[in-house]
Amino acid sequence: MKNFILLGATGSIGSQTLDIIKKDKNFNLLGFSFFENVSRAKEIINEFKPKYVTMKDSSFKDEFNNFKDVTFFYGERGLLDLVKVEENATIINSIVGLAGLAPTVEAIKAKKDILLANKETLVCAGDLIKRLVKENKVNLIPIDSEHSAIMQCLKVGKKKEIKKIIITASGGSFRDLSRSELENVTLVDALRHPNWNMGKKITIDSSTMVNKGLEVIEAHYLFDVDYSKIETVIHKESIIHSMVEYKDNGIIAHLAVPDMHLPIMYAMYYPRHLKGFTQELDFSNLNLSFKKMDIKRFPMVEKAYYVGKAGGVLPLVYNTSNEVAVSLFTNGKIKYLDIEDIITKSIERFKDENIYDYDIDDLLEFDKKVRSFVLEKWS
């Protein structure tokens, strides 16, 4: 029996992970976290009978009085307790945002392997996470489809033979709009992703191309490749999930119908490729298109390279200012283009206060500073 503890079980990645656990009799959901979706959490408890569950805070406590066999935890502390409950368990982190950082750090310190969808953790704390992974000898496997693809493409060559990593981008909901047409787009428009059905934040991040920016930084930390060797290209169809070009100019690509079950399964069964949920690719009607990333149209990609190369806590500034901006946009407090403005001004504000030698408390402290800066100015 293989035990999993699933953080963010009520989300988009969480529910696709549950599909996989349900299908394999040797997989057990030992515990899970949710934040506010009480009704879905009850369904998951009824179906999967986990031993441990944690949630946002104790205000939902009474809702779960009937579940006598479950041990409940609460709040930020609850996430840290959950990842440590039993020795024999793999952690899957599909929480959205920097809230995923502390439980990842705690899980690694508890010597648990991590399957990571929560890219924000690596972006904000890449150096720290890498050091902890090494010290504690655990495995960290990405779930993000591009990084799952790159990991597979990297198997055919040696690190010193890599010419570049090419990360594909669908272009998001507004890929066919010019910058002036972005002026008055709405939340409903932003949430209409052409290829993927995902959580709200990542759908908006895809449209601003911040998601690709985060993925460039994620790739840098995961694969230890210099930013000068990481490129992005627009590929509307989301069939090629990413590529690795070697020095002989040969390119290895990973193709599949866009379906997150595939990279989630690859992480859960690593390194095996087993029959799962994803449809076969139909070549009879397949057209693949590519377009150079236009950094004037998508300036947030260039900003990601800037903060990534600067290192220290600047990637956190990029990520956190975006997290706050997206939530302000989602709550109708700002216009769509303000998201970019907030990120740009936050980087400007904090670029001369960068710190390079940090621990998790320093990061969380900096995160608070950036949040207050954005909220004071824009809410």
* Interacting residues toward ligand NDP by CB under 6 A: 8-14, 34-37, 94-96, 99, 117-120, 144, 196, 198-202, 260
Q: Which is nearer to ligand NDP, 53 or 347 (CB)?
A: 53
Q: Which is nearer to ligand NDP, 95 or 265 (CB)?
A: 95
CA distances from 233 to 33, 130, 343 (A): 35, 27, 22
Work out how close the CB of 92 gets to Mg ion at its nearest, in angstroms, rounded to a whole number.
Answer: 16
- Asked if residues 108 and 138 have their Cβ atoms less than 8 Å apart, the reply is yes
Closest-CB residue for ligand NDP?
11
Work out what residue 35 binds among ligand NDP, Mg ion, none; the CB cut-off runs from 5 to 8 Å by kind: ligand NDP
Tokens matching residue 164: 């570049």
Work out how close the CB of 8 gets to ligand NDP at its nearest, in angstroms, rounded to a whole number.
Answer: 3
Residue from 27, 52, 97, 146 touching Mg ion (CB under 5 A): that is: 146
Work out what residue 146 binds among ligand NDP, Mg ion, none; the CB cut-off runs from 5 to 8 Å by kind: Mg ion
Distance CA 57, CA 70 (A): 16
Nearest residue to 57 via CA among 85, 79, 30: 79
Work out how close the CB of 242 gets to Mg ion at its nearest, in angstroms, rounded to a whole number.
Answer: 9
Work out how close the CB of 347 gets to Mg ion at its nearest, in angstroms, rounded to a whole number.
Answer: 22
Residue that has been written with the tokens 């824009």 in this structure: 378
Q: Which is nearer to Mg ion, 144 or 259 (CB)?
A: 144
Work out how close the CB of 28 gets to ligand NDP at its nearest, in angstroms, rounded to a whole number.
Answer: 19
Work out what residue 94 binds among Mg ion, ligand NDP, none; the CB cut-off runs from 5 to 8 Å by kind: ligand NDP
Q: Which is nearer to ligand NDP, 195 or 354 (CB)?
A: 195
Q: Does 205 bind Mg ion (CB under 5 A)?
A: no
Work out how close the CB of 314 gets to ligand NDP at its nearest, in angstroms, rounded to a whole number.
Answer: 19
Q: Which stretch binds Mg ion (CB under 5 A): 6-14, 58-66, 145-153, 248-256?
A: 145-153
Residues contacting 231, CB < 8 A, separation 6+: 164, 165, 166, 167, 293
Closest-CB residue for Mg ion?
144
Distance CA 262, CA 139 (A): 19
Dihedral angle sign, alpha carbons of residues 182, 186, 191, 194: negative
Q: Which is nearer to ligand NDP, 54 or 346 (CB)?
A: 54
Distance CA 362, CA 54 (A): 25
Q: Which is nearer to ligand NDP, 120 or 340 (CB)?
A: 120
Work out what residue 104 binds among ligand NDP, Mg ion, none; the CB cut-off runs from 5 to 8 Å by kind: none
Q: What HEC string does 154-203 produce?
A: HHHCCHHHEEEEEEEECCCCCCCCCCHHHCCCCHHHHCCCCCCCCCHHHH
Residue 224: other Cβ atoms inside 10 A? 9
Work out how close the CB of 152 gets to ligand NDP at its nearest, in angstroms, rounded to a whole number.
Answer: 16
Residue that has been written with the tokens 């994620």 in this structure: 218
Work out what residue 2 binds among ligand NDP, Mg ion, none; the CB cut-off runs from 5 to 8 Å by kind: none
Amino acid at 46: N
Distance CA 112, CA 116 (A): 12
Work out what residue 99 binds among Mg ion, ligand NDP, none; the CB cut-off runs from 5 to 8 Å by kind: ligand NDP
Exposure class string for 157-190: b at 16+ Cβ within 10 A, else e:
beeeebebbbbbbbbbbbbeeeeeebeebeeeeb
Burial of 125 (0-12, 13-18, 19+ CB in 10 A): buried
Work out what residue 36 binds among ligand NDP, Mg ion, none; the CB cut-off runs from 5 to 8 Å by kind: ligand NDP
Residue from 106, 120, 144, 323 touching Mg ion (CB under 5 A): that is: 144
Nearest residue to 116 via CA among 256, 268, 224: 268
Q: Which is nearer to Mg ion, 106 or 144 (CB)?
A: 144
Q: Which stretch binds Mg ion (CB under 5 A): 16-24, 140-148, 179-187, 266-274?
A: 140-148
Work out how close the CB of 255 gets to ligand NDP at its nearest, in angstroms, rounded to a whole number.
Answer: 17
- Asked if residues 148 and 260 have their Cβ atoms less than 8 Å apart, the reply is no
Q: Which residues bind Mg ion (CB under 5 A)?
A: 144-146
